Amino acid sequence: MKIREIKIFKICYYTLLAILISLALLFIGSMFPIPGNYKMMTVLSGSMEPAIHTGSVVIVKPMKSYEIGDVITFGKATKTETPITHRVYDMRIQEGNPIYITKGDANNAHDQREIMANEVIGKVLFSVPYAGYAVEAAKKPIGFILIIIIPAVVIVGDELRKIWKEIIKLRNKKKDKEQDKEIKGLKEEIEKLKEEK
């Protein structure tokens, strides 16, 4: 391989590694029930196109209040129910509590169901297009093996190979130093023998 190809490979390798580690940390962190914690959700429909693409991952953070124009995620996250991500289209106050009327950017009309403040999971801070396909695949056993386990094994194997190479280099340096000492000792003995003659 040429030096330039090796550099490009290393850049791609470490970029992929950083992305995988970031996604894994974010995914694990979002699973803990910490108040005010960031959540990572997957958008499964095209109702927010073009702002948020189908299959995107959205990073959501609970806020004290939400305004018209904010993109929020609301609803229950269970095996049978999936949270929805839509924009706050309108809002009103009822008995001191805000009620949100939402609308998907790609939809012609606003949602029929009004959203209570306690149903809102949080405001969408940003989205990562198409990363949701990988996240959803990783939730299945075969996807977990292909997306998480195999890359992790490759990365760990590569790092172990590098460590082994360094160990070999250190051993060789130690041997070289020992051989240099022996050669120096032999040269000194030869010089002594020459002087004795």
- The phi, psi pair for 113, rounded to 5°, reads -80, 130
Give the DSSP letter of residue 113.
S
Q: Which amino acid is at 114?
A: E
- The phi, psi pair for 84, rounded to 5°, reads -115, 140
Question: With the C-alpha atoms ordered 83, 89, 92, 97, is the resulting torsion angle positive or negative?
Answer: positive
* pLDDT tens digits along 184-193: 877 777 777 7
Structural contact between residues 60 and 122, judged by C-beta atoms closer than 8 angstroms: yes
**What pLDDT was estimated at residue 98?**
94
In terms of DSSP bridges, do strands 71-74 and 120-128 run parallel, antiparallel, or are they unpaired? antiparallel
* pLDDT tens digits along 38-62: 888 888 888 999 999 998 888 899 9
For residue 197, is pLDDT > 70?
A: no
Question: With the C-alpha atoms ordered 141, 144, 145, 146, is the resulting torsion angle positive or negative?
Answer: positive
Helices assigned H by DSSP within the chain: 3-31, 131-138, 141-144, 150-196
Please report, to the nearest 10 degrees, the dihedral formed by the alpha carbons of residues 7, 12, 16, 17 taken in order. -10
For residue 76, is pLDDT > 70?
A: yes
